[in-house]
């Protein structure tokens, strides 16, 4: 898949980008170039010195912003595979700075799509979020729009071999801005803020996220939104796993936040198929292209009222399993 290929990751200095880059460099020595495209020169400098990345002959760092189409055109020259991970993500910041999120998450997505088409890219995978399913906040709305742009882009590639696929998942365990690092930080203070005692979340590690993107690159047919089958956890169980000795203060949910994550809503059930390890949300029926996609991707249709949500998931992580995940994927010295 990567042999002799040039790969570019937008937002490559983020949590996902760093893990993806290290995995590709370690597991696919045949990659010709691996380009980290991002706008923060300090993060690029720090990343360039990380073990497994420093001095690797395939690694490249390219300063730029997805808002700048000319810079994208320059960066995508000779690129075969694009992973689009660049986005503004903080929900409260989106409510206060809405057009900044629109410029990066929507207009930036379209800039990436056009650069892929014009520069002869062969495969593109865009990262999405559970918040794009029935969005309750502006961040989710911008990512839903981005998803629609990437899926619709398959209609205009013409005879090119280019395929666009979207992968959708929830909060990554231990990623920047997630609840696990917050609880670990506040543990010493003796009190943990709980937004709502009923809150649940899906559990996904960074390696799970990378595995999903690699699966999309290897098996994606273009036009689908892939959704992983993963366990859930209860916020109170997470608090118990990290700091059972701490008191808990119920502070209420933030504006635009949901009690339970959703990744497939009932409105999408008619277009969703079960692929075994993943679900795939396909474009709406109504043309030869969508019918052909259904035949190529295969899978089993889900029930008509299917709703994939963290609150009604089939499997929940125990307190012990959460502790093991934190030790293995977030903080090795966690006790």
Residues 6+ away with beta carbon under 8 Å from 53: 21, 22, 25, 47, 59
What's the CATH class of domain 1-168?
alpha beta
Domain map of the chain by residue range?
1-168
H helices within 90-220, ranges in order? Answer: 91-96, 98-101, 108-118, 138-152, 179-186, 206-219
Q: 131 an active-site residue? A: yes
Task: Give this prediction's pTM.
Answer: 0.94
Give the range among 114-123, 227-236, 289-298, 324-333 with minimum mean pLDDT: 289-298
Q: 107-163 pLDDT, tens per residue?
A: 999 999 999 999 999 999 999 999 999 999 999 999 999 999 999 999 999 888 999
> Which one of the listed residues 89, 103, 131, 258 is annotated catalytic?
131
Q: Let me know: does 28 contact 56? Beta carbons within 8 Å.
A: no
Rounded to an integer, what is the distance from CA 13 to the centroid of its chain?
Answer: 14
CA dihedral 163, 278, 275, 318 (to 10 degrees): 170
């Amino acid at each position: 898949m990567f042999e002799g290929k040039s790969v570019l990751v937008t937002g490559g200095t983020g949590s996902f980008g760093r893990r993806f880059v290290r995995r590709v460099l370690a597991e696919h020595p045949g990659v010709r170039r691996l380009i980290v495209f991002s706008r923060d020169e300090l993060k690029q400098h720090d990343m360039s010195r990380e073990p497994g990345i420093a001095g690797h002959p395939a690694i490249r760092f390219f300063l730029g912003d997805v808002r700048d189409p000319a810079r994208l055109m320059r960066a995508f020259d000779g690129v075969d595979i694009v992973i689009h991970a660049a986005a503004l993500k903080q929900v409260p910041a989106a409510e206060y700075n809405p057009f900044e999120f629109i410029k990066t998450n929507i207009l930036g997505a379209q800039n990436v799509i056009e650069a892929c088409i014009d520069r002869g890219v062969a495969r593109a995978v865009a990262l999405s979020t559970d918040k794009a399913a029935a969005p309750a906040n502006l961040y989710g709305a911008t990512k839903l729009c981005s998803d629609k742009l990437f899926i619709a882009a398959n209609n205009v590639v013409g005879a090119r071999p280019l395929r666009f696929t979207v992968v959708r998942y929830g909060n990554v365990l231990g990623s920047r801005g997630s609840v696990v690092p917050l609880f670990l930080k506040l543990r010493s203070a003796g009190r943990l803020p709980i937004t709502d005692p009923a809150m649940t979340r899906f559990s996904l590690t960074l390696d799970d996220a990378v595995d999903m993107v690699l699966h999309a690159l290897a098996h994606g047919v273009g036009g689908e939104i892939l959704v992983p089958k993963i366990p859930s956890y209860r916020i109170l169980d997470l608090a118990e796993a990290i700091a059972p000795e701490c008191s808990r203060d119920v502070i209420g949910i933030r504006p635009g936040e949901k009690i339970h994550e959703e990744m497939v809503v009932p409105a999408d059930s008619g277009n969703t198929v079960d692929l075994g390890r993943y679900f795939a949300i396909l474009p709406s029926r109504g043309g030869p292209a969508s019918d052909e996609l259904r035949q190529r991707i295969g899978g089993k249709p889900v029930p008509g009222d299917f709703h994939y949500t963290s609150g009604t998931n089939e499997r929940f992580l125990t307190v012990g399993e959460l502790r093991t995940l934190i030790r293995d994927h977030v903080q090795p010295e966690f006790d």
